[in-house]
Amino acid sequence: MTRNIRLFMMLIAALVLLLTACTKKQGIGPQANILRYPLVSSPTKIDPAMVQDGDTIDMLLQVFEGLVKWSVDNKPVPNLAESWEVLNGGTLYRFKIRQGVKFHNGDDLTAEDFVYSIDRACSKALGSETTQNYLYDIVGARERREGNATSVSGVRATGKYTLEIQIDQPKAYFLAKLTYPNSYVVSHRAIKAAGGGEMTKVEAVVGTGPFKLTTYNPDTKVILSAFEDYHGGKPKLQGIERPIVKDPQTRYDLYKQGRVDLIQMDKAEVKAAEQDPELKGQIRYFERPGIYYVAMNQGVVPQFQDKRVRQAFAMAIDKDAIIAAALEGKVKRADCIVPPGIPGYDPTLKGYEFKPDEAKRLLAAAGYPDGRGFPKLTLWFRESRPDILHVGEVVQEELKTNLGVIVELRPTEWGAYLNEYNNKALPFLHMRWMADYLDPQNFLSTLLATYGGENKFNYSSPKFDNLCRLGDAEQDPEKRLKYYQQAQRIAIADVPWIPIYFQRDAELIRPYVQGIQDCLLGHLPHVSTYIEGQ
């Protein structure tokens, strides 16, 4: 009888003991040269040839490198290729590979490693989804990817440190595409030792980058440690820790607690940080090469073929009303298509300004006075994104008030949305485009040319297409820019879609984190980053 009571009391005591014994405070505040910043999701891949999402790319950029890299002024500059020549009127690239570069396993880098890596990325057996987008310009890449060739005929090593890549036609943006991890150099020996195929084990993850992957736990964290023999000099940081934290509020709390040094924030956290006297000064805003737009599909809604209707829509929507609520009003209103920082950004363009009376007049001239007779529209957009929903609500409200046009909102699950989007079946849609590489071609030709892969709204202007084609092939940067600027002016006047705002990201960074370098696409590899006072 008393045994029972004693057991009970012991259990209670154990609980109390557990609660007190479990307090432990290590790792609060700056750590000796370790940079800690959360991954917002589990790494989707650890293979540079396979990776697609920005968060994982940021992690792999520390480990793997390519022929070229982005500079702080957003240009492709030498990395593992120390120089190159462009021959045969722009179709042949001859790269001189940097000598004395070592892989993490001690092997020397040669041109053959690139031949292997690019061939692997193109092979049908690996089945990379990014090859088509980034490497199909290379002669023979498509045949290799589709299983009709045993190697990529356009890539060869003509010397131990000389690599030649042949592309199908002059494309001035080709170098920019090589900044993407898909073509990065990987270690044949390490991949073979790990069993070949896609890299899924840490042992296979061997690159030439400033950090080595030492721990990879897809559920909890990734740890990188400095590579002593890095060709750019040993990194100042000893290591990088990336705990995986999906909940934005939790990331924010971890930052407040001092467990992490840098976080990306969502809208709600930006609002909280702006009101926190301690954290307010640690918020950093970054321009990102992304644009949010609302497109009018001329193939699905015949009324959109009338330019006056499109102009009326553009003039009836008050972008500033949308921006006021997006990221606490910190985003930049978009009046052109190419974002700031990328050649071709044109601050002199004003687009169609908010003029509801003029809009009403134009719609009436098109045969729909006060919206009478205009079909009811459905605006499609990605679900569970408060910012995007907000754009939809403003568009709905303004078109109703200013034009008498009724819009139904259709927030759609992402996969289902993409299905319809890729079939060019969405009548009226909201979309965001984030650059793959920093080149005007990736916005103008890709999004709006008749031949552009992301023109899902049936806009077609021969004049625009022609200028884009000229720009795509032109090697002289100034001439090239002129073609694109003219093309952009045409697209803005034609209003196939309404640019709303350019993307801006908000991060919290502790003041003791120093030396971070950025380009528009994100933080550059942490070669010069260090923890002050440690």
Partner 1 sequence: MLSYALKRILLVIPTLIFVSALTFVAAELAPGDPIQIKLGERATPAAVAQLKHEYGLDRPLLVRFGDFLWGAARLDFGRSYFDTRTVRQILLQNYWPTAMLAILAMLVASVVGIFLGTIAAVAAGKWPDRLAVVLSVAGLGIPNFVLAPILVLIFALRLQWYEVAGWADNFSDLGPYLVLPVIVLSVRPLAAIMRLTRSSMIGVLSQDFIRTARAKGVSWTGVVVRHALRNAATPVIIGIGSSFGYLLTGSFITETVFAIPGLGKRAIEAIYQRDYPVIQATTILFAAAFILVNLAVDLVQARIDPRVRLNRDGATG
Contact positions toward partner 1, by CB under 8 A?
1, 4-5, 8, 11-12, 15, 18-19, 21-25, 28, 42, 44-46, 52, 127, 129-130, 132-133, 198, 200, 217-220, 243-247, 249-250, 253-254, 256-257, 259, 412-416, 418-419, 421-423, 431, 453-454
Residue 172, judged by CB atoms within 10 A of its CB (0-12, 13-18, 19+), counts as buried
Q: Which is nearer to partner 1, 4 or 348 (CB)?
A: 4
Q: Which is nearer to partner 1, 406 or 425 (CB)?
A: 425
> DSSP letter at 39?
B
Parallel, antiparallel, or unpaired for β 497-509 and 283-296? antiparallel
Handedness of CA 469, 473, 479, 482 (dihedral sign): positive
The residue type of 464 is F
Which among 168, 66, 174, 183 has a CA at the least distance from the CA of 130? 183
Q: Which is nearer to partner 1, 45 or 288 (CB)?
A: 45
The position carrying tokens 């991890």 is 181
Q: Which is nearer to partner 1, 359 or 447 (CB)?
A: 447
From the CB of 417, what's the least distance to partner 1, in Å?
8
Rounded Cα distance, 516 and 495, in Å: 39
From the CB of 414, what's the least distance to partner 1, in Å?
6
From the CB of 127, what's the least distance to partner 1, in Å?
8
Task: Determine phi and psi for 434, rounding to 5 degrees.
Answer: -115, 130
From the CB of 12, what's the least distance to partner 1, in Å?
6
From the CB of 187, what's the least distance to partner 1, in Å?
18
Q: Which is nearer to partner 1, 52 or 460 (CB)?
A: 52
Q: Which residues pair with 291 in a beta bridge?
A: 433, 502
Q: Which is nearer to partner 1, 8 or 159 (CB)?
A: 8
Structure tokens at 323: 């921006």
From the CB of 396, what's the least distance to partner 1, in Å?
21
Q: 419 in helix, strand or coil? A: helix
Q: Which is nearer to partner 1, 234 or 246 (CB)?
A: 246
From the CB of 385, what's the least distance to partner 1, in Å?
13
Structure tokens at 12: 């209670």
Half-sphere exposure (Cβ direction) of 89: Cα atoms closer than 13 Å: 4
From the CB of 398, what's the least distance to partner 1, in Å?
27
Q: Buried b vs exposed e over 365-404: b needs ≥16 C-beta within 10 Å?
A: ebebeebeebeebbbbbbeebebbbbbbebbbebbeebbb
Stated as kind and residue range, the H or E segment containing 76 is strand 76-78
> DSSP letter at 439?
S
Rounded Cα distance, 450 and 234, in Å: 48
From the CB of 214, what's the least distance to partner 1, in Å?
13
State the first-to-last Cα distance of the chain, in angstroms, to the nearest integer: 60
Rounded Cα distance, 503 and 345, in Å: 14
From the CB of 411, what's the least distance to partner 1, in Å?
11
Rounded Cα distance, 253 and 28, in Å: 12
Q: Which is nearer to partner 1, 205 or 527 (CB)?
A: 205
Q: Which is nearer to partner 1, 164 or 241 (CB)?
A: 241
Q: Which is nearer to partner 1, 418 or 493 (CB)?
A: 418
Residue 304, judged by CB atoms within 10 A of its CB (0-12, 13-18, 19+), counts as buried
Q: Which is nearer to partner 1, 25 or 376 (CB)?
A: 25
From the CB of 413, what's the least distance to partner 1, in Å?
4
**Residue 30 in contact with residue 533, Cβ under 8 Å?**
yes
From the CB of 404, what's the least distance to partner 1, in Å?
31
Measured CA to CA in angstroms, residue 421 lies from 18, 172, 459 at distances of 54, 29, 14
Cα 339–Cα 319–Cα 425 angle in degrees, nearest 5? 75
Q: Which is nearer to partner 1, 160 or 246 (CB)?
A: 246
**Residue 49 in contact with residue 132, Cβ under 8 Å?**
no
Q: Which is nearer to partner 1, 24 or 376 (CB)?
A: 24
Q: Which is nearer to partner 1, 96 or 432 (CB)?
A: 432
The position carrying tokens 């849609």 is 429
Cα–chain-centroid distance for residue 9? 57
> Longest Cα pair distance anywhere in the chain, in angstroms?
96
From the CB of 319, what's the least distance to partner 1, in Å?
23
Structure tokens at 15: 């609980």
Q: Which residues pair with 264 in a beta bridge?
A: 507
From the CB of 150, what's the least distance to partner 1, in Å?
20
